């Protein structure tokens, strides 16, 4: 029997609910097993699962320095010297509109902006510290501009928040001094409360680095209870030392087992914050392949830009994302709302699935006018090139699904999608091919 992912999730949640008395239901945001989502998680996360693709934005004083967001630590820059970067941190009014427009053009459905990174500078009008964007640098509330910009483009809004803080006097000593911990945890909870109180509905809270405390030290259970009391529909990640709603593989794509939600976050070059000298850009094709791989495994792809100190988007980032967006405009239906897809083995293609339709995403177009899939168990009822609608030939011998009649040149770029309509949810059994495909009758 083949079930699509959503049916599996719903079945799992239903089974759990049936076994537990109502009073034992986990509170919102708690996922005691770390696996199967609770009904409340399914409700809050439905849009996010469909969205698949989001924009991460790392923007802070490190942009003015231009040497990576970890420079303060990795170059051991004294606080007084680092604070001077406030003078060069001058985003033009409306810069977040440019980010949001690019995100939308790239086919992204949500954005996550650093409200405070490890450097400790707050991008909003906070009453808890003067070290913020209204007192220094732009002298405007960047978070407010960002929230308005995302909403204007119809995108969901997320806040990244770093628990670790290299600027606050209690940021390190909170690990060894209880009075410092008390102050710093009150500060942290206070900042998060402000962020989730002053800017309307927020869709994602993306915690980062929990050094130097554990969940008990941060009072993370209380933190999440506050978050859900303020924003009942929000989703939170797992970086405040609790499971939260989703896992966060970083710079890698790693599907979670057991129905647990996951989102792979990745840089476009090697740096999150603006890093002038970093020219190690991913190609649009690599980005698209990564997005497909995430969708195949039931995950999301959160792809980063690190705007310049004036808020401008590095031209290479804009170029890559624009090309990705053009592809998404033609092929986004194969990504948004995709089901987990079991078939995954090919040396020149990746796969996504919607119901009984298998999408073969060919990134290296072979010569010869044909492609083939090993071990596809279902009957293919019809096949076509998605972009042109051209019908293709299909022959199946129990081991090979052979698709013929393809044009010599790839009809789409940088990845061409072939849609295969199957008689059931497609599954691939490559082991059967290895074991049972007839070998040579006689040795030669
Ligand atoms: C790491 C880095 C940080 C970046 C984050 C994004 O935790 O410390 O610079 O913001 O990854 O996932």
Q: Is the pLDDT of residue 26 over 70?
A: no
The ligand 1 atom at the shortest distance from the C-alpha of residue 56 is 6
Q: List, as one string, the DSSP characters of 148-167.
A: HHHHHTT-EEEEEEES--SS
Residue 77 to residue 72: CA distance in whole angstroms: 5
Q: Is the CB of 209 under 6 A from ligand 1?
A: yes
Q: Is the pLDDT of residue 255 over 50?
A: yes
Pair of tokens at residue 66: 């231009």
Sole residue written with tokens 């190609």 = 283
pTM metric for this prediction: 0.92
Q: Is the pLDDT of residue 336 over 90?
A: yes
**pLDDT category of residue 257 using cuts at 50, 70 and 90:** confident
Question: What separation in Å is there between the alpha carbon of 208 and the centre of ligand 1?
Answer: 7
**pLDDT category of residue 122 using cuts at 50, 70 and 90:** very high
Q: List, as one string, the DSSP characters of 388-429.
A: T--EEEEEE-SSEEEEE---SS-SSSS-EEEEEEESSS--B-
Give residue-wise pLDDT tens across range 220-231: 999 999 999 999
Which of 272, 275, 278, 301 for mutating ligand 1's site (highest number of atoms within 8 Å of CB)?
A: 272
Report the phi/psi class of residue 256: left, alpha or beta, with left for phi > 0 and alpha for psi in -120 to 50. beta
Could you give all domains of the chain from N- to C-terminal order, each with its CATH number? 3-334 (3.20.20.80), 349-436 (2.60.40.1180)
Look at 257 and 32; give whichever has higher pLDDT. Answer: 257
Q: Is the pLDDT of residue 12 over 60?
A: no
* Closest residue to atom 10 of ligand 1, CA basis: 272
Question: What separation in Å is there between the alpha carbon of 307 and the centre of ligand 1?
Answer: 16
Give residue-wise pLDDT tens across range 295-304: 999 999 999 9
pLDDT at 264: 98
Reference 74, options 64, 62, 89, 85; nearest CA is 62
The ligand 1 atom at the shortest distance from the C-alpha of residue 70 is 9
Give residue-wise pLDDT tens across range 39-93: 999 999 999 999 999 999 999 999 999 999 999 999 999 999 999 999 999 999 9
Give how far Cα 412 sits from Cα of 68, 327, 334, 405, 418, Å: 36, 8, 14, 16, 10
Spatial CB neighbours of 362, under 8 Å, sequence gap ≥ 6: 348, 349, 371, 410, 415, 416, 417, 418
Sole residue written with tokens 């031209």 = 315
Average pLDDT over the chain, rounded to an integer: 93
């Amino acid at each position: 029997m083949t079930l699509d992912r959503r049916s599996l999730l719903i079945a799992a949640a239903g089974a759990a609910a049936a076994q537990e008395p109502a009073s034992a239901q986990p509170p919102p945001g708690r996922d005691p097993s770390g696996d199967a989502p609770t009904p409340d998680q399914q409700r809050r996360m439905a849009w996010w699962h469909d969205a698949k693709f989001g924009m991460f934005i790392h923007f802070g004083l490190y942009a003015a320095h231009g040497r990576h967001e970890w420079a303060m630590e990795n170059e051991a820059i004294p606080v007084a010297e680092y604070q001077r970067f406030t003078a060069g941190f001058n985003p033009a009014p409306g810069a977040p509109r440019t980010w949001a427009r690019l995100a939308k053009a790239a086919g992204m459905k949500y954005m996550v902006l650093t409200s405070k990174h490890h450097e400790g500078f707050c991008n909003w009008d906070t009453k808890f510290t003067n070290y913020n964007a209204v007192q220094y640098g732009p002298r405007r509330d960047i978070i407010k501009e960002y929230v308005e910009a995302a909403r204007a483009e119809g995108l969901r809004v997320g806040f990244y928040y770093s628990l670790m803080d290299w600027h606050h006097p209690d940021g390190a000593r909170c690990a060894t001094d209880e009075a410092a911990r008390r102050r710093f945890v009150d500060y942290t909870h206070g900042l998060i409360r402000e962020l989730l109180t002053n800017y309307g509905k927020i869709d994602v809270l993306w915690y980062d680095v929990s050094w130097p405390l554990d969940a008990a030290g941060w009072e993370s259970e209380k933190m999440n209870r506050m978050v859900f009391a303020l924003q009942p529909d929000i989703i939170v990640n797992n970086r405040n030392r609790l499971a939260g709603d989703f896992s966060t593989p970083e710079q890698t794509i790693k599907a979670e087992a057991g129905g647990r939600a996951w989102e792979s976050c990745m840089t476009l070059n090697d740096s999150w914050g603006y890093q002038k000298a970093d020219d190690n850009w991913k190609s649009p094709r690599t980005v698209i392949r990564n997005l497909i791989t995430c969708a195949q495994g039931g995950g999301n792809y959160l792809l980063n830009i690190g705007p310049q100190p004036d808020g401008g988007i590095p031209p290479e980032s804009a170029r890559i994302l624009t090309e990705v967006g053009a592809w998404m405009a033609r092929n986004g239906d194969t990504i948004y709302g995709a089901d987990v897809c079991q078939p995954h083995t090919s040396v020149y293609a990746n796969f996504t699935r919607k119901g009984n339709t298998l999408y073969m995403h060919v990134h290296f177009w072979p010569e010869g006018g044909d492609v083939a899939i090993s071990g596809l168990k279902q009957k293919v009822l019809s096949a076509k090139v998605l972009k042109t609608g051209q019908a293709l030939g299909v022959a199946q011998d129990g081991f090979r699904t052979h698709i013929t009649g393809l044009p010599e040149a790839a009809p789409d770029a940088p990845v061409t999608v072939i849609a295969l309509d199957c008689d059931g949810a497609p599954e691939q059994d490559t082991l059967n091919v290895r074991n049972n495909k007839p070998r040579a009758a006689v040795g030669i």
